[in-house]
Amino acid sequence: MIDFDDPSEKIKLNQTTAKDLDNDDQLTNFRSKFVIEDPNLIYLDGNSLGRLPKKTKDLAQEIVSEQWGSRLIRSWNEKWLEDTVRIGDKVGSVVGAKPGEVVLADSTTVCLFKAAVSALLSNPTRFIILTDDQNFPSDIQALEAAASMVSKEHKVIVLESNGLEAPVEELLEAIDETVALVSLSQVSYRSGCCWDLSTVTKKAHQEGAKVLWDLSHSVGVVPIDLIKDEVDLAIGCTYKYLNGGPGSPAFVYISENCRDLINPIAGWYGSKDPFGFDPYSQPQNDNRRFLTGTPPLVSTLLIEPGIDLVIEAGVQNIRSKSVALSERFLFKAEKELLPLGFSVSSPLKHKNRGSHLSFSHDSALAIGQALINEHSTIPDVRPPDLVRFGFAPLYNTFGEIEESIERVKEVIYGGGIDRWRDATPVVP
C-alpha cells in the first residue's frame, strides 16, 4: 500500500506508467464484474451513479421472473421480510455498524428528515441546527423543513466555507450549548472536501448536541467506523459507490445511545406487528422503527451485488486505489490542464478529500457536454463552473486517467467549447 505522505512514494507513483500501475493493481479483476458494453467509454461519474454489476443484471431477472412472477406474495414469508434486514446489515458492515443498526428505507432526503426531526424532538430546549454551505442543497432544504416542523423557534445556521475546504475551525467554534444538531455531508458534493467524523462528533457531544452525518459521497470508498467515532445518526444513498442502481433506497443508522428516538413518520412497517393490523401497535424495539411504509423491495434486493463487491474488495483497499487515481489525475492535470484555463477546486491534500476532484473553468458546461457527446468520456458538471471527475476504484483504471486528460485537451484544442457553448444542462 502506497504511503501518500511520503514524497518519494508520490514521485514513484507519478513516474510509473499507467500500464504498469494497472498491471500491479490488486483490484484490477473487479472491473470485469461490471457491465461495460463500450470499452472506449471512460466513465468518471461513479460519484453520481455507479456502474451496473453483472450479478445485478442476472439477479433482476430472477427477482422478476421467480420471486415476483412465480412465488408472488409467498416471497414475503419465504425471504423478503428477512432480506431487508440482512442487506441492511451488509451496509452496516461497510460503515462500522453493529447488526440491526442500519435499515434501508426511503430516499436519502426522507431519511435525513426523519432523523433530524427525531433528534430535535429529543432535545426540546435547544433550537439551533448547524450545517455548512458545502452540504448538499436538498440536505439543507430537509433541515429547514425539519426545523419548521418542530417549532417556530428552531433555525438552521449555514456556515460559509472558502469553497474548497471544510470550515472546521468555524464549525467547532459555533458548537455551543444552544446547538441541538450538527448535520453535515462527510464528503462535499462540490469540492470533495472531507470532514473528520471523530473531531466534529466529539465536540458536539461535549456541548450536548447530536450529530447527523450524510455519507452519500463516502460510503464504499472512504473508511468509516460509526461505532468507533461514536456517531449518533447517519444516512446515505446506495447508488453511488455501492452501485445499487438508480433510485435504490437510502439507509439510516441510529446508534445505541439514540435508541429512545422516535420516528416522526410512523407507519405500519415500523411497528412490532405490521400484519396484526392494529392501529395502536407499538414501534419496533430496534432500528426497524424508522421504517415507515412497505419497502421498495425490488430495488432493495438489487443493492446486494454491489455491496458484496465492496465487501470483497475491502474499503481500505478501495480507498488506497482511490487516492492513487486522484493523485495521478491531479499530477497530470496540474501540468496539462491548468495552463488551459482550469483551476483546482478540491483540497490538494488527499486526507482532506473523498474520491472525486473538481476543477473550475469558465466553460465547464460546454466542456462537459463535449466530453460526453464527442469524446466518449462522462464526468459531470455542477453550476456555475465546476467539472467533477469521480474515481470509482472497482472499475476505473490508471489508463483511463491518462486518456481522460488527453480527451479534455482535445475538447479545448478542437473547438468543443464553441460547439457546445449553448448546450442545455443534463441530469444529473
- Residues assigned a catalytic role: 136, 214, 239-240, 388
Q: Are strands 128-132 and 386-390 parallel, antiparallel or unpaired?
A: unpaired
CB 43 within 8 A of CB 379: no
Alpha helices in 36-167 (DSSP H): 54-62, 74-75, 81-94, 108-121, 137-150
Asked if the bond preceding 384 is cis, omega within 30° of 0, the reply is: yes
Encode 191-208: b = buried (16+ Cβ within 10 Å), e = exposed.
Answer: bbbbbebeebbebbeeee
Distances (CA, A) of 13 to 6, 397, 401: 11, 14, 13
Single out the residue of 33, 82, 18 nearest to residue 310, CA to CA.
Answer: 33
Estimate the share of the chain in helix, then strand, then coil, as percent rounded to the nearest 5.
45, 15, 40
With H, G, I as helix, E, B as strand and everything else as coil, classify residue 106. Answer: coil
Show the beta-strand stretches assigned E in 111-270.
128-132, 155-159, 179-185, 210-214, 233-236, 251-254
Count of alpha carbons within 13 Å of 157, Cβ hemisphere only?
16
Question: For the purposes of burial, counting CB atoms within 10 Å of the CB of 162, is it exposed (0-12), middle (13-18) or buried (19 or more)?
Answer: exposed
Q: Distance between the two ends of the chain, CA-based, in angstroms?
A: 34
What letter would DSSP give residue 414?
T
State the DSSP H helix or E strand holding residue 306, giving kind and residue range, or none if neither. helix 304-313
Question: What DSSP character marks residue 34?
Answer: B
According to DSSP, residue 71 is labeled T
CA angle 335, 341, 342 (to 5 degrees): 65
Instruction: For residue 157, list its beta bridge partners.
Output: 130
Neighbour count for residue 153 (Cβ, 10 Å): 10
